[in-house]
Amino acid sequence: PVDARLAGKHVLVTAGPTHEPIDPVRYIANRSSGKQGFAIAGALAALGARVTLVAGPVALPTPSGVTRIDVETAREMAAAVDAALPADAAVMVAAVADWHVEAAAQKLKKGDAAPLLHLSQNPDILAGVAQGARRPQLVVGFAAETERVIEHAVAKRARKNADWIVANDVSGDVMGGEANAVHLVSAAGVESWERASKADVARRLAKRIADAL
Ligand code: C5P
């Protein structure tokens, strides 16, 4: 059922990894199936929001009612996010690669010496949106952590100027799996949600976004 509070609201979602090419056949990336971000985009659209999903390279169908923009690199994702603003809310679920390399035009050959990769910083898309002039009313970031999950999420929320950080403990089998155990970190404190399917986490978060807008 549609939620009247989301009628006419534009929500921007990023999902998936980014791939940073080394040469035409190789890349560096973070692990990400895109499942949680796609589920959130789908849940928001099901509640009646207008959803723009900026997706890195993933093998997932576009959720019903969602406008999808496919990108490969972090720099492309940043440009697509910028082009999709303004939005009432932004939910940045993508596992953006932190660095890129100057990609070689031709496939690198396996010689005697392994190539050295020179890594350059990628833009922080979440921080850019949350600190930008066209900041959405609600900015939600994600934090995948393997230790001291809540402590890191609280610090991340402040550092990135996000309203909420959804923190998940990825030390177990969350990666690529169907379930997720998350903590919602906001100005009000920390709420720990019971382990649930990614679809249920998405529906619960979509309702909370409706509450906040
Ligand atoms: O800094 P870290 O990668 O741990 O923060 C995770 C959060 O920041 C996620 O919401 C992710 O989508 C976002 N992020 C981003 N651009 C980056 C790095 C992270 O939007 N370059």
Binding site membership of 84 for ligand 1 (Cβ less than 6 Å): no
The neighbour count for residue 146, using CB atoms within 10 Å, is 10
Q: How confident is the model at residue 205 (pLDDT cuts 50, 70, 90)?
A: very high
Please check if 123 is assigned to a binding site: yes
185 ligand 1 Cβ < 6 A: no
- Indicate the SS3 state at residue 85: coil
pLDDT at 211 (0 to 100): 97
pLDDT digits (tens, 9 = 90+) for 16-25: 999 999 999 9
Other beta carbons within 10 Å of 189: 8
- Give the pLDDT band (50/70/90) at residue 33: very high
The answer for residues whose C-beta is within 8 angstroms of residue 36's C-beta and 6 or more apart is 15, 93, 142, 180, 198, 201, 202
Q: Given the CA of residue 145, which atom of ligand 1 is nearest to it?
A: 4
Q: Is 213 exposed, middle or buried (0-12, 13-18, 19+ CB in 10 A)?
A: middle
136 is in an annotated binding site: no
Q: What is the mean pLDDT of the chain?
A: 95
Question: Is 180 a residue of the active site?
Answer: no
Q: Is the CB of 55 under 6 A from ligand 1?
A: no
pLDDT at 170: 81
Name the DSSP class of 28: E
More confident residue, 19 or 177: 19
Question: Is 139 touching ligand 1 by the criterion CB < 6 Å?
Answer: no
- CB atoms under 10 Å from CB of 7, counted, come to 12
Answer whether residue 141 shows pLDDT above 80: yes
* pLDDT greater than 80 at residue 177: no
ipTM: 0.95
pLDDT at 175: 63
pLDDT tens digits for range 142-168: 998 888 999 999 999 999 999 999 998
Q: Are 67 and 30 in contact (CB under 8 A)?
A: no
Q: What angle do CA 52, 53, 57 make, to 5 degrees?
A: 155
- Structure confidence by residue, pLDDT tens digits, 74-93: 999 999 999 999 999 999 99
> How does residue 172 score in pLDDT terms, banded at 50, 70 and 90?
low
Cα–Cα–Cα angle for 71, 33, 200, rounded to 5 degrees: 115
**Arithmetic mean of pLDDT, 116-141:** 97
**Is 24 annotated to bind ligand?**
no
Confidence class of residue 73 from pLDDT cuts 50, 70 and 90? very high
Residue with tokens 């390399």: 101
195 Cα: distance to centroid of ligand 1 (angstroms): 23
Q: Is the pLDDT of residue 198 over 80?
A: yes
pLDDT at position 173 over 90: no
Per-residue confidence (pLDDT) for residue 42, from 0 to 100: 98
CA distances from 103 to 11, 32, 36, 117 (A): 33, 22, 30, 10
Specify the pLDDT at position 21.
98
82 alpha carbon, distance to own chain's centre: 15
Could you tell me the pTM of the whole model?
Answer: 0.95
- Give me the pLDDT at residue 113, please: 86
Question: Exposed (0-12), middle (13-18) or buried (19+): which is 130, by Cβ within 10 Å?
Answer: buried
Q: Return the residue matching tokens 């020179």.
A: 118
Q: Which residue from 78, 64, 73, 131 is spatially nearest to 97, judged by alpha carbons?
A: 73
